[in-house]
Structure 1
Amino acid sequence: MPTAPTPKDKPRHMGWLKTFLKLSLFGLLAGLGALIIAVLIAMASLPSFEELKSSPNGQMVRVRAADGSVIVSLGPSYGDWLPIGQIPQTMTKAMVAVEDRRFYMHPGIDPIGMARAAYVAFQRKGEGRRLQGASTITQQIARNIFLTNAYSFGRKFREVILALAMERKFSKEQILELYLNRVYFGGGAYGIDAAARKFFDHSGTKLSLGESAIIAGLVKAPSHYSPTADREAAIGRAKVVLEVMQDAGAITPSEAEEVDLDKVNLAPERDQNAVRYFTDWALAQLDEVVDEQIEPIDVWTTIDPAMQRAADAAIRANAPPGAQGALVALDRDGAVRAMVGGRDYVSSIYNRATQAERQPGSAFKLFVYLAGMEAGMKPDTPVVDEPVDINGWSPRNSNREYAGEIDVRTAFAFSINTVAAKIGQQVGFETVADMAHRFGIGTKLNTHPSMVLGTSDVRLIDMTRAFAAVARKGVAVVPYGIVKVTTAKGDLLYEHRADDNRVLVAPWVAAEVTDLLQTAVNTGTARAAQIGRPVAGKTGTTSSNKDGWFLGFSSGITTGVWMGRDDAKPIAGLQGGRAPARAFADFMKVAVAKRPVEQFETAVTLPEFQLEPDDETYLNMPDEGMVDADGMPIDQGEPQADPGDGFEPQAASPAAAPPRVTPPPVATRGAAPAPPQPRTSLGSDFLSGVDQQRPARRQ
C-alpha cells in the first residue's frame, strides 16, 4: 500500500506550487508589459486618420467615353469618401450586426468571439479548418490596410497588436468610417459608395434597408453573393442579414417584414464586350503619354457610345456564319469613334481591327489610282481595257471580258484589273508601294506587278486611316483614342494635340480620287454602301472569298469594315460589295444621322448606262477579279448564288436583265456623239501624254 505523505512533505509541495504561481504571474506580467509596449510602438507608427483616408490600395483607371460616361473601370474602384455622419444608419447597423456584434464593447479584439471560434475549430479539427469568424471590424481594417491575407500565427499576432493600437488611437466612429469606406464588396468595388454605385447606380448616402442588407451580406463572400453574378444568392444572404439585425436588436420585427428584397432595383451590368477591343488598344498607349501613376486617373477617350453600339450591331448582323468581322470608324481628325475587333470579346480578345494582317484585294487600288492621279491622270482620261502581260503576269477581269476604250472613272468604279495593272506598270510598282506607306500602311509591301490587286497583307486601321486622309483632302490622319488624362481631382496629366500640317498629296489629287470613290458607290461594286447621302468608298475581295472589305467616308466619318475567317478559309458568297458594304451602311446610317449632309467638291454626273443595274445586281457576278497569293488569276467557274447573305436584286429579276452592253466612252445616251478622241492605252507614252493635258494646279 502507498505511504501517505508525511507532514514534512506538505511544505515541500506547497513550495513548488508557490514557485510555479510566482513564475506564471511574472510571465503574465512580462507578457502584458511586452504587449503594452508593442501596442504603444504600433500606435506611434500608425498614420493619422486623414492619411489613412487618402491612401487607397492600388490604382483605379476609369475609362470615359466622349460624352464623359464611364465605359470601363480597371483596378480597384473607390467611390466618394463618406463621413460616418453621411452613412445611413441602416448601413452601419447592418454591418455591425453581421460582422462584429460587440464592436462598441471590445477593445479591438473580442475574447468571447475568439473563444467561440476556438471551440468551433476544436469541434471540427478533423475537417482541417483553421480558426475563422474571430476577427473584429478593427482587426479586419488593420489586415486590409497594413497586412496581407496570408494565414499564419505571426500575421495574426501582428493583426491583434495593430487592432489594439488602432482602438487606442482612433475613436469607434473613425474606425467604423474607415471600415465602411475601405472594405471590399466585390466587382472591384471598395467602400459602400463604390458598391452602391456599382450595384444600385446611386450614391451610398441613399441606401435603403434592403440595399444595406445586400451590401452587408457581400463581405463574407463577395464573389459568391454578388448581385450581378447571382441575384438569388445575394437576396438569400440579405435575408440572413435582416434576421441577424433583428436578433441583435438593430431593427424591429415589423421593420424587417416591411423589406421586400425582390423589389430592390439592381443597376444593369454594363455591356463591355465590344468596347473592350477599343479600351485595350487605347490603354496600351498610356505609358507613352503619362508617367507611371499610383493615384486614380480618368482616361477621357474618343469613343462614341451610340456609334460603338451601332458598330457592334452591324458586325453581328452582317458577318457570315463562321466568319469574324472588324470595324473602325474615324472622325475627320483621326479620333476613333467606334472600334470592333471581333464578334465576341469574351471568346476572343484578338483585335482584328488593329492586329490582324490580311490581303485587301481591290481596296488596295486606292494607292494605284492615287499614284496615277499624282502623275497627271484625270477621272475622264480614256484608257483601254484589254489583255495585259507584264513579265508573264496576265491579270484578267471578273467577267473574263474586255470593254475596250473606257475612262478611268469607269475602270475604277467596276474595279477593272487590267487598267489597274497598266497604271501600276506606268507609274512604277515602287511608287505605288511608297504611296501606300505615305498614307499610313505600316506593313511590308511587295513590289511585284500583282501588288496592284492587293496581294500584300495590311491592317484594317491602316487602310481606314488612308481613306480618311483622302476624305481630309490629302492631309495625314493619325488615329488616336485618348483625348486627355486627368487625376480623380481633375488635374490634367495629358492632352492630345492635333497635327494638321502633314500634307500627303495635293488637294486636287484627293478630290479627283474622291470622284472615283463616289462612282464606285453610286454605280459600281459598292452600291450596297449607299445611305441616302453622298458616300465615297471602295470594295475589296481576295482569292476564293477569303476576305471581304469595304472602306468609305461620308459627312466627316471614315469607316473600314473587314470580314473573314481567322484561319483564312474561303467563305461562300463573301465579297466586299455585299456583307461588308451592308455592315458599313447599317453603321453609317446611325453614325452620321445627326450630322449635316456634306457634298463632295467633285459632283459626279453619270451617263445613263451607268445608272442602270450592273452585272453584280442581276447575275451575282463577283465584285473583284479573283487572284491567288501571287496575283495570278483564279478560274471561279460559273458565278454561284449566295443563299446565306440575304442579297436581294436591286431592280429587275435575272430573267428581265437587259443584254450585256460594253460601256462606251463617258457620254449621255441619246446625246450627240462625242468628238473623236485619241485612243490612249496607257502605254509607254501615258505619262507624257497626260502631262500635256494636265490643267493648272488647283489651290
Structure 2
Amino acid sequence: MASRGKSRERVEPTFEEEDERDDELRVDAGDRIGGKRTGRSTKAKTGKTAKVAPKSRSSGRGRGKAKRSSGGLSGLIGRLIYWCIVLGIWGAIGVGGIVMYYGARMPSASSWSIPERPPNLKVVSVEGTVIANRGATGGEALALEDMSPFIPQAVIAIEDRRFYSHFGVDPLGLARAVVTNLASGRTVQGGSTLTQQLAKNLFLSPERTIERKIQEVLLSFWLEHKFTKDQILAMYLNRVYFGSNAYGVEAASRRYFSKSARDVNLGEAALLAGLLKAPSRLSPARDPEAAEARAQVVLGAMREEGFISDDEIKTAMSQPPTTAKRYWTGAGQYVADMVLDETKRLIGTISEDLVVETTIDMTLEKKAEAVIVESLEAEGDKLKASQAALVSIDGTGAIRALVGGKDYAESQFNRAVKARRQPGSAFKPFVYAAALETGVRPESTRNDAPVRIGNWTPENYDEKYRGPVTISHALANSLNTIAAQLVMEVGPDHVIKLAHRLGIESELQSNASIALGTSEVSLLELTAAYAPFMNGGYKATPHIIRRISTAEGKVLYENDYAEPPRVLGEPVVAAMNRMLKGVITDGTGKKARLDGWEAAGKSGTTQSFRDALFVGYTSNLTTGVWFGNDDGQSMKKVTGGGLPAKAWHDFMTAAHAGLTPVPLAGEGYVEPQAQPMTIGTILSDVFSGGEKRYPAAPNAPAVRQEEVPRAGRPPAEIPQADPYQQGAGGPVPPADVGAPSPVQPASRRTTLLDIIMGQ
C-alpha cells in the first residue's frame, strides 16, 4: 500500500504536468472531451491506477505531447483555411448575387453603344489656321496617332500603368491603391483604370454608390471586349475633362497653350496629365504653381515607366511654368462666336462636327488685336478710354479682321458687331453722297454760318464760322452747319435711303440731326457702308463665312457674293473719293495718313466725347475703329481724328506692308465741269441774313432697303489667289453685271432766285 501510495505520489505530479500542458494546447471542446473520456474509461475498467514503468511513462509522455502539439497546430491552420474557403464561397455568392441584381437593372448588353461625342465647330482662317473651336467640348477629336506621343505616355504613367495588360479592372492596381491610401491615412491614389473612368464618363452619373461601381465594372468588361486598347485610350483622351471648360486633349491644349495637341511638348503633356486628378483645382488658369508641381510628379512617373530619360526630364523642368487666363483669350474668340451664330442661321441645328472656313486673315487679325491692345495700354487710362473695336473688310465685304474688345477673357461682348453707337460725323459721307446724287458737286459752295432748323441750332466743333466754303472743304473739316444744310436740301429720307442702300441696316430716324450721326449703328455696318466708295460703287455685304463642310469634306454651304448690285454711280464714287481723301490730307484725319498709299476716310465724335471713330479705306481694305467706354462715360476729349485715327494708321500700315500701292477707284474719271459760282448763289446767302432757316423735318419712319439675299444662287468657285499677296494690289472690284445703276445723278434743285437771275 505504501509503495502504491508512493507510486501514486510520484505519478500525480506527472499527470498534473500533463493536465497543465493539455490546457495550453486546447483548441475546442471536442479535444477536451476526448481526453477526459479516455481517463474515465480506464479508471472504470480497472478500478485502480495502472502501473507504468518510469521509462515507459517518460517515453509515452513525450510521444503524447508531440502528438497533441502537432495535431493542434495543423488543426488550427486547417480550420483557418477551411473557414476562409467557406467565407470566400459565401462572399462570392453574395457578390455574385449583388452583381446579378444590379446587372439585371441595366439594359441588355446588345443595346449598349458609345454615346455620340457632342458636335464641334472648327473655325479656320483663309490660310487654314485654326482660329478657335466652338461646341460643348471646346475642341475636335483627334486620332491617337495624331496626338503628341507624350500625351498618352503621360496619362498612362500617372493614371493606369498596367493599362495594356489588365482586362478592364486591375486587381493589382486596386490593391496598391488601398495599401498606399492606408499608409498615408488619406485617399491619395485611385484604383480605377482608364477603362473604368471612360465607362463612368460615357454612361454613368458621378454619384458614388455600390450600384454605380458595379455597373462601372460591367461596362468596363464590355468596353474591353468591344474595342481595342488604343481605341479605348483615344476615346478617353478625347472626352475627359481637363478643367476650364475644356473636354479632350485638343480643347485643353488650345485652352492652355494656344496650340494643337499635335504639337504639345513633354512638359505640356505632363501638365495635361496632371490635371486629371483635380481638373479645376490644378488648372494653370487658377493655380500655375500647383499645376507645375503636379506636372513634375507626372514626369517622375514617366521616368519610372521608362517612357523618358533623365535628360528629357531636365529639359522639361527647365521650361517656364505655363500660365493661362481664366477664360479663352485672343481676338479670334470674337470671330468664333460670330461664326457660331452665323452657322446656326445658315444651316440650322448643328448635329455633327463641322469645319467652317472663314474670310479671316490671321496675320491681319493678330495685327488688329495688337494695335487695339497697345493703343489702350499706352493711352487708355490717360484718356479715360477703356474699350475699343476694329473691323476690316475687303471690296467684296469679306471680313478680314475683327476685334470686338480689349480682352475677350474679360468681356465676351462683341463691340464691333453687337454694340450700336452714334457714329457722329462719320455718318456725313452718306449725307454728302446723297447731295451729290441731286446734282451738288465738290466745288459747290455753301455758307458756313449759324443755321436754325426748328428749335435746333447746330454748331461747329470749334464754334467758329468760315463763311462761303466749298462742299469738299466742308467735309474735310467736318463743318456741322454745312451738313445740316445739305440734309434739308435733299431731305432726310433721301439720306436714309442711300445709307440703307450702301449697307446700313439699323433703323435711322428721319430728322435733320441725322446729318451729325445721331442715329445708332454698329461699327460693322458703318464700315461695310463705306466699302462702295472703295470698290467702285458696288454693295459690299459683310460676311465672315466662306464655306461650311462636314468633317468628311461634304460641303453644306458656300457663299456667293460674286455679283453684287451697283449702289452708287461712278461720278458719285469719284467725287466722294476725292473729298474723303481731303479729310486725311488736309482735314480732321491727318493722323491717318499712309506713306505711299492713297487713303480716304472720315472721323466721328459724339456728344461729350462718349464715342470716337475713324472709318477709312484704301483700294485694298476698308477699316473702321471705335474707342469709348461700355457704360457711356465720356472720354477725355478723344476725337475721331485722334486716338482712333492713329490706331487706324498703325493697323493699315502693317496690313499694307510689302504690297504695291494702287490708286483709289475713280481716279481716271473726268468730272464734268462744275457750275461756276454766280451772283444768284451769293445773293441767296446774303438774303438769308447770314443765317439760314429751315422748317423742322418731319419725324417720318426710316425707309429700309430690301435685304440682299445671302444664299439661293449656285455656289461660286472661291478664287485661290490671296488678295494680300505681294503685287496683288488688293481685291479686284466686282464686275459690272450690265444693269444700269439704280441711282442716276439728278439735276440741282432750281430755286426762285435762280429763275430771277436767269440760271
1:313 to partner: Cα distance: 3.0
The answer to whether 1:364 aligns with 2:402 is no
Change over 3 Å in CA distance of 1:452–1:94 after alignment to 2: closer
1:452 to partner: Cα distance: 1.5
> Which shifted more, 177-186 or 398-407?
177-186
> Which shifted more, 520-529 or 265-274?
265-274
Change over 3 Å in CA distance of 1:308–1:182 after alignment to 2: closer
Match of 1:651 in 2: none
Partners of 1:42 and 1:165 within 8 A in 2: no
Match of 1:632 in 2: none
Match of 2:636 in 1: 572
Change over 3 Å in CA distance of 1:187–1:57 after alignment to 2: farther
Change over 3 Å in CA distance of 1:416–1:168 after alignment to 2: closer
Match of 1:325 in 2: 388
TM-score by length of 2: 0.68
Which residue, 306, 309, 312 being the options, matches 1:251?
306
The answer to whether 1:440 aligns with 2:494 is no
1:184 to partner: Cα distance: 4.6
Q: Secondary structure at the match of 2:623?
A: strand
CA distance in 2, matches of 1:522, 1:94: 61
Structure richer in helix, relative to its length: 2
CA distance in 2, matches of 1:203, 1:382: 61
Partners of 1:42 and 1:161 within 8 A in 2: no
Which residue, 589, 595, 603 being the options, matches 2:653?
589
CA distance in 1, matches of 2:514, 2:262: 64
The one-letter code matched in structure 1 to 2:206 is N
The answer to whether 1:99 aligns with 2:159 is yes
The one-letter code matched in structure 1 to 2:117 is N
1:185 to partner: Cα distance: 4.7
Q: Secondary structure at the match of 1:550?
A: strand
Q: Secondary structure at the match of 1:688?
A: coil
CA distance in 2, matches of 1:401, 1:370: 25
CA distance in 1, matches of 2:648, 2:637: 17
Match of 1:560 in 2: 624
Change over 3 Å in CA distance of 1:152–1:35 after alignment to 2: closer
The one-letter code matched in structure 1 to 2:373 is R
> Which shifted more, 106-115 or 416-425?
106-115
The one-letter code matched in structure 2 to 1:57 is R
Match of 2:10 in 1: none
Change over 3 Å in CA distance of 1:241–1:354 after alignment to 2: closer
Which residue, 613, 616, 623 being the options, matches 1:549?
613
The answer to whether 1:345 aligns with 2:408 is yes
CA distance in 2, matches of 1:212, 1:391: 71
1:687 to partner: Cα distance: 1.0
Change over 3 Å in CA distance of 1:63–1:597 after alignment to 2: same
The one-letter code matched in structure 2 to 1:378 is R
1:402 to partner: Cα distance: 3.4
Partners of 2:533 and 2:665 within 8 A in 1: no
Partners of 1:552 and 1:558 within 8 A in 2: yes
Q: Secondary structure at the match of 1:596?
A: coil
Aligned positions of 1:46-57 closer than 5 A = 46-47=112-113, 57=117
Change over 3 Å in CA distance of 1:686–1:207 after alignment to 2: closer
Change over 3 Å in CA distance of 1:484–1:601 after alignment to 2: closer
Partners of 1:433 and 1:445 within 8 A in 2: yes
CA distance in 1, matches of 2:130, 2:402: 17
Match of 1:315 in 2: 372
Aligned positions of 1:8-157 closer than 5 A = 28-29=92-93, 32=96, 35=99, 38=103, 43-47=109-113, 57-75=117-135, 76=137, 77-82=139-144, 95-103=155-163, 106-114=166-174, 133-157=190-214
Partners of 1:359 and 1:458 within 8 A in 2: yes
Q: Identity of aligned pairs, percent?
A: 37
CA distance in 2, matches of 1:343, 1:291: 31
Change over 3 Å in CA distance of 1:120–1:552 after alignment to 2: same
Deviations 1:384-419 (A, max 9, x none): 333333334333334444333332212222222222
CA distance in 2, matches of 1:194, 1:392: 59
Cα RMSD (Å) of the superposition? Answer: 4.4
Partners of 1:225 and 1:234 within 8 A in 2: yes
Deviations 1:563-601 (A, max 9, x none): 223333332321122222111111111122243322134
1:150 to partner: Cα distance: 3.3
CA distance in 2, matches of 1:583, 1:495: 33
Match of 1:687 in 2: 749
Change over 3 Å in CA distance of 1:518–1:184 after alignment to 2: same
The one-letter code matched in structure 2 to 1:394 is T
Change over 3 Å in CA distance of 1:601–1:390 after alignment to 2: same
Partners of 2:534 and 2:665 within 8 A in 1: no
> Which shifted more, 279-288 or 368-377?
279-288
Which residue, 322, 337, 345 being the options, matches 1:280?
337
CA distance in 2, matches of 1:524, 1:209: 57
1:293 to partner: Cα distance: 2.9
Match of 1:402 in 2: 465
> Which shifted more, 471-480 or 173-182?
173-182
Change over 3 Å in CA distance of 1:60–1:91 after alignment to 2: closer
Match of 2:534 in 1: 471
Q: Secondary structure at the match of 1:457?
A: coil
The one-letter code matched in structure 2 to 1:437 is H
The one-letter code matched in structure 2 to 1:554 is T
Partners of 1:78 and 1:189 within 8 A in 2: no
CA distance in 2, matches of 1:342, 1:234: 30
CA distance in 1, matches of 2:88, 2:488: 102
1:182 to partner: Cα distance: 5.2
Change over 3 Å in CA distance of 1:31–1:212 after alignment to 2: same
Which residue, 662, 666, 674 being the options, matches 1:598?
662
Change over 3 Å in CA distance of 1:83–1:42 after alignment to 2: farther
Instruction: Point out where structure 2 has 5 or more consecutive residues left out of the alignment.
Output: 1-28, 34-81, 686-691, 695-746
CA distance in 2, matches of 1:206, 1:545: 47
Q: Secondary structure at the match of 1:347?
A: coil
CA distance in 1, matches of 2:594, 2:434: 29
Change over 3 Å in CA distance of 1:148–1:575 after alignment to 2: same
Change over 3 Å in CA distance of 1:295–1:602 after alignment to 2: closer
Partners of 1:361 and 1:455 within 8 A in 2: yes
CA distance in 1, matches of 2:163, 2:170: 8
Q: Secondary structure at the match of 2:169?
A: coil
1:602 to partner: Cα distance: 4.7
Deviations 1:420-456 (A, max 9, x none): 2222112112222232233332333333323222222
Partners of 1:93 and 1:245 within 8 A in 2: yes
TM-score by length of 1: 0.73
- Matched positions, count: 599
1:268 to partner: Cα distance: 9.6
Aligned positions of 1:177-576 closer than 5 A = 178-179=235-236, 183-185=240-242, 213-225=270-282, 232-244=289-301, 250-251=305-306, 255-256=309-310, 259-260=313-314, 261-263=316-318, 272-319=329-376, 320-321=380-381, 322-323=384-385, 324-498=387-561, 500-532=563-595, 533-576=597-640
Match of 2:720 in 1: none
Q: Secondary structure at the match of 1:511?
A: helix
1:514 to partner: Cα distance: 1.8
